[in-house]
């Protein structure tokens, strides 16, 4: 019989209506499925909305995973959907194992009518008990996505996630002993000033600039600011568009390369930010 540890962290999947909106309340024993041939053990790690996820929570997940991996055939993590991509990337870059570590969540609370939670939990547990997927993945609405390649595309549809580009990490990082310095993440718009970028970059590990389309930066003071910043910190250019960036495609992208920015290529904004945090705090 396969043994699976199901770690709960809160999120909509554990939600109940508090009178002020949905908040995580249900514990793992209430959520764990009964599947023939699979023994599921529940462990309640914490219970928060994933909007409240911070590096301290990733540390607790990372430590709990590594402490329990020798005892189980796979691990499932129930998690809120809003920061799923960040958590997936951090764990994918840091957890070293050939066993399945499977994230899942839901768009409706477990006890809601027509909830997707029971189905997603069962999919995640079966994926964690199987032999096809190794390392960190998301199992959600019938899809299985690499942990560093998760992107949420809907706040309402049950099929809420996609694979961003097919990216698979080829490098692992040690989980930082201390939180260290965090990256800044800026979304470029026609209303963005260079001073906006400069102000958020102060005392940061680096800056991730989410631009448009295949990637590029405007021919104004933003170019000068990024040129200066790239002399002292990593500057990575990403895009919200599925498939990733290609800074060599357009002149505006080559402009970013010329000032020292790095092409995120197949990495999403969440993935690039997670890797920047990890790589600059080794």
Query: Would 168 be classed as within a structural domain?
Result: no
Average pLDDT over residues 211-221: 96
Out of 8, 9, 81, 211, which one is annotated catalytic? 81
Active site residue 82: yes
DSSP result, the chain: -EEEEEEEEESGGGEEE-SSSEEE---HHHH---BTTEEEEEEEEEEE-GGG--HHHHHHHHHHHHHHGGG-SEEEEE--STTHHHHHHHHHHH---SSEEEEE--SS-TTSTT-SHHHHHHHHHHHHHSSS--EEEEEETTEEEEGGGEEE--SS-SS-EEESS--------PPPSS--PPPEEEE--TT--HHHHHHHHTT-S-EEEE-STT----SSHHHHHHHHHTTTS-EEEE-SSTT---TTSSHHHHHHHHTT-EE-TT--HHHHHHHHHHHTT-
274 close to 89: Cβ distance less than 8 angstroms: yes
| Nearest CA-CA partner of 155 in 238, 84, 245, 58 | 84
Query: Would 76 be classed as within a structural domain?
Result: yes
Q: Is the pLDDT reported for residue 15 higher than 90?
A: no
Q: Could you tell me the CATH number of the domain that includes residue 35?
A: 3.40.50.1170
Instruction: Tell me what the pLDDT averaged over the chain comes to.
Output: 96
Active site residue 152: yes
Q: Indicate the number of domains in the chain.
A: 2
pLDDT band at 16 (very low <50, low <70, confident <90, very high): confident
Query: Would 58 be classed as within a structural domain?
Result: yes
Active site residue 239: no
Query: Would 170 be classed as within a structural domain?
Result: no
Choosing from 130, 163, 196, the residue where a domain stops is 163
| One domain for residues 125 and 249 | no
pLDDT band at 18 (very low <50, low <70, confident <90, very high): low
pLDDT band at 35 (very low <50, low <70, confident <90, very high): very high
| One domain for residues 225 and 150 | no
Active site residue 81: yes
Neighbours of 63 (CB within 10 A): 12
Out of 82, 111, 196, 246, which one is annotated catalytic? 82
Out of 12, 223, 239, 245, which one is annotated catalytic? 12
Query: Would 177 be classed as within a structural domain?
Result: no
| One domain for residues 134 and 273 | no
Reported as a single tens digit per residue, the pLDDT across 136-161 is 999 999 999 999 999 999 999 999 99
Out of 25, 99, 152, 158, which one is annotated catalytic? 152
| One domain for residues 104 and 194 | no
Residues, the chain:
282
Q: Could you list the residue range(s) of the whole structural domain that residue 39 is in?
A: 2-163
Active site residue 250: yes
């Amino acid at each position: 019989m396969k043994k699976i540890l199901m770690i709960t962290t809160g999120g909509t999947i554990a939600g109940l209506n508090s009178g002020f909106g949905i908040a995580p309340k249900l514990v793992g024993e209430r959520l764990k499925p009964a599947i023939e041939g699979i023994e599921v053990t529940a462990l309640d790690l914490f219970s928060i909305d994933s909007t409240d996820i911070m590096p301290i929570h990733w540390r607790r997940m990372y430590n709990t995973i590594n402490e329990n991996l020798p005892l189980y055939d796979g691990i499932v993590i129930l998690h809120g959907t809003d920061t799923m991509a960040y958590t997936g990337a951090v764990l994918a870059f840091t957890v070293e194992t050939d066993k399945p570590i499977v994230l899942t969540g839901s768009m409706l609370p477990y006890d809601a009518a027509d909830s997707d939670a029971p189905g997603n939990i069962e999919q995640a547990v079966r994926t964690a008990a199987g032999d096809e997927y190794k390392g960190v993945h998301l199992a959600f609405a019938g899809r299985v996505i690499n942990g560093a390649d998760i992107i949420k595309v809907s706040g309402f549809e049950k099929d809420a996630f996609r694979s961003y580009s097919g990216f698979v990490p080829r490098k692992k990082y040690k989980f930082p002993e201390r939180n260290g310095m965090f990256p800044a993440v800026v979304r470029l718009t026609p209303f963005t000033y260079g001073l906006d970028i400069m102000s958020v970059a102060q005392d940061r590990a680096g800056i991730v600039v989410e631009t448009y389309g295949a990637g590029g930066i405007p021919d104004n003071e933003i170019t000068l600011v990024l040129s200066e910043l790239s002399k002292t910190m990593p500057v990575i250019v990403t895009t919200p568009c599925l498939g990733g960036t290609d800074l060599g495609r357009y002149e505006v992208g080559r402009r970013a390369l010329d000032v020292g920015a790095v092409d995120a290529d197949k990495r999403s904004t969440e993935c690039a930010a997670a890797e920047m945090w990890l790589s600059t705090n080794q």
